[in-house]
Homo-oligomer: A and B are copies of this chain.
Amino acid sequence: MTELKNDSLIRALLRQPTSRTPVWMMRQAGRYLPEYRALRASAGDFMSLCSNPQWACEVTLQPLERFDLDAAILFSDILTIPDAMGLGLYFVEGEGPKFHKPLRTAGDVESLQIVDTSRDLGYVTDAVTLIRRELNGRVPLIGFAGSPWTLATYMIEGHSNRDFTRSKNWLYQQPELLHQLLEKLALSTIDYLNAQITSGAQVVQIFDTWGGALSDAAYREYSLAYMHKIVAGLITERDGIKVPVILFTKGGSVWLEAMADTGCHALGLDWTVDIGDARRRVGQRVALQGNMDPAVLRAGRHAIETEVSLILESFGTGGGHVFNLGHGITPDVDPINVGIFIDAVHRYSESD
């Protein structure tokens, strides 16, 4: 394999010192970029873009052409697994993802097949292989998957529903059925992430977008336990280099200690927690990734630079910090402000 020219992301995730704080952004390949919107328009719908390795590769690399980012992240969607299970993923503009065949009965869960990535999701691993080749060691490539609980909410609701009515009905009325579903999703995700790693992903992140909707006890039993299982099932090293795992529960600030106990290497933080407090809570167990509110990117240079320096200062020195937003960048951000942001992270952390 080509040697990695910029390994600061990997080093920071393993809590090793770096010359400056590495930075990437969730949804860095996305709608705020005019070149993304142009390619998306010619591709037709979102899934056509995801499922074509050439296009997925092109979109993945777009932000790296503009900005001095320390990582690429595979352009894909967390719902590729349920789609591969036969639920029929589609997107309606402005309404988010939907499924043609949401889960309704115990029989629906019973008949779900655990995903075999090489058979069902070859377009994803093909994209990973292609991106690694095109990156040519410039920065590491991050692979990802959704958490089982997060996938389950979409599969049960059939669409975005921030009240999680049906999913919570399963949880409190048919817990065994939900466990059966989560088990199948966890096994599918282990296979999926390991296939991404084998194809070239150098870091993986698990996105638990909706864990924060759960009670403390339910989070531990229905979300964290399955992420724990996934972490335990992942390939830990590739070509003699560790493959760090990042766990990110949006709205999960209260559970950082428990998340750190899963054996993952780093925690993604949303913006509700002070990163210095988070560091004191998790101690030396994990690195931390985050955590600027993406809303700051709509403001001007002064606000962006102020927030970046406050977060860097709160984290402090000693390594183990990957700068990021607390959630995905929004489509209304001016790319000029992204340049200011990336530059501020690098400059301010270098002068530390």
Footprint of B on A, CB under 8 Å? 162-165, 168-169, 171-173, 212, 214-219, 251, 253-254, 271-274, 277, 291-293, 295-296, 298-300, 303, 307, 310, 326, 330, 332
Residues of B within 8 A of A254 (CB): 253-254, 272-273
Does A272 lie within 8 Å of B171, measured CB to CB?
Answer: no
Whose C-beta in chain B lies nearest to the C-beta of A291? B215
Are the C-beta atoms of B173 and A300 separated by less than 8 Å?
Answer: yes
Measured in the bound complex, the distance between the Cα atoms of B169 and A217 in whole Å is 36
Kindly provide the distance from the CB of A109 to the nearest chain B CB, expressed in whole angstroms.
Answer: 19
Contact B168 A277 (CB under 8 A): no
**Cα(A165)–Cα(B299), bound, Å:** 11
Say whether, besides A254-B272, A272-B212, A299-B172, A293 and B163 are in contact (CB < 8 Å). no
A274 in contact with B216 given A168-B295, A254-B254 (CB within 8 Å): yes
Question: Could you say which of B163, B172, B296, B326 contacts A296, with CB atoms under 8 Å apart?
Answer: B172
Contacts A254-B253, A254-B273 given; does A295 touch B326 at CB 8 Å: no
Given contact pairs A254-B272, A272-B254, A299 touches B215 in the complex (Cβ within 8 A) = no
Given A300-B173, A303-B172, are A216 and B277 neighbors across the interface (CB < 8 Å)?
A: yes
CA distance A300 to B163 in the complex (A): 19
Distance of A147 from chain B, by nearest CB (Å): 16
Given that A251-B272, A295-B168 are known contacts, is A173 also in contact with B303, CB under 8 Å in the complex? yes
- Per the bound structure, the CA–CA distance linking A310 and B221 in Å amounts to 14
Q: Determine the chain B residues whose CB is within 8 A of the CB of A171 once the complex forms.
A: 295
CB distance from A27 to the nearest CB of B (A): 14
Q: List 11 A-B contacts (CB under 8 A).
A: A165-B298, A168-B295, A172-B303, A173-B300, A173-B303, A212-B251, A215-B291, A216-B271, A216-B272, A219-B272, A253-B254
A273/B172 contact (C-beta < 8 A), A253-B254, A254-B253, A332-B165 known: no
**Residue in contact with A253 in the complex, picked from B169, B253, B271, B307, CB distance below 8 Å:** B253
Q: Could you tell me if B173 and A299 are in contact, using CB atoms closer than 8 angstroms?
A: yes
Residues of B within 8 A of A217 (CB): 274, 310
Query: Complex: how many Å from CA A162 to CA B162?
Result: 10
Q: A326 to B163, alpha carbons, bound, how many Å?
A: 13
Bound complex: CA of A168 vs CA of B295, how far in Å?
6
Instruction: Report how far A214 CA is from B198 CA in the complex, Å.
Output: 39
B216 and A169 within 8 A (CB)? no
Which residues in B have their C-beta under 8 angstroms from that of A277? 216
Contact A215 B272 (CB under 8 A): yes
- Shortest C-beta distance, A218 to chain B (Å), equals 7
Question: Closest B-chain residue to A175, C-beta based?
Answer: B303
Rounded to whole Å, the gap between the CB of A16 and the closest CB of chain B is 27
Asked if B273 and A216 sit within 8 Å, CB to CB, the answer is yes
Q: Which of B169, B272, B295 contacts A172 (CB 8 A)?
A: B295
> In the complex, are the beta carbons of A169 and B295 less than 8 A apart?
yes
Known: A172-B303, A173-B299, A218-B293. 17 other contacts (CB 8 A): A163-B330, A165-B295, A169-B295, A169-B298, A171-B295, A172-B296, A172-B298, A172-B307, A212-B272, A215-B271, A215-B291, A216-B273, A216-B274, A217-B274, A219-B272, A251-B272, A254-B272
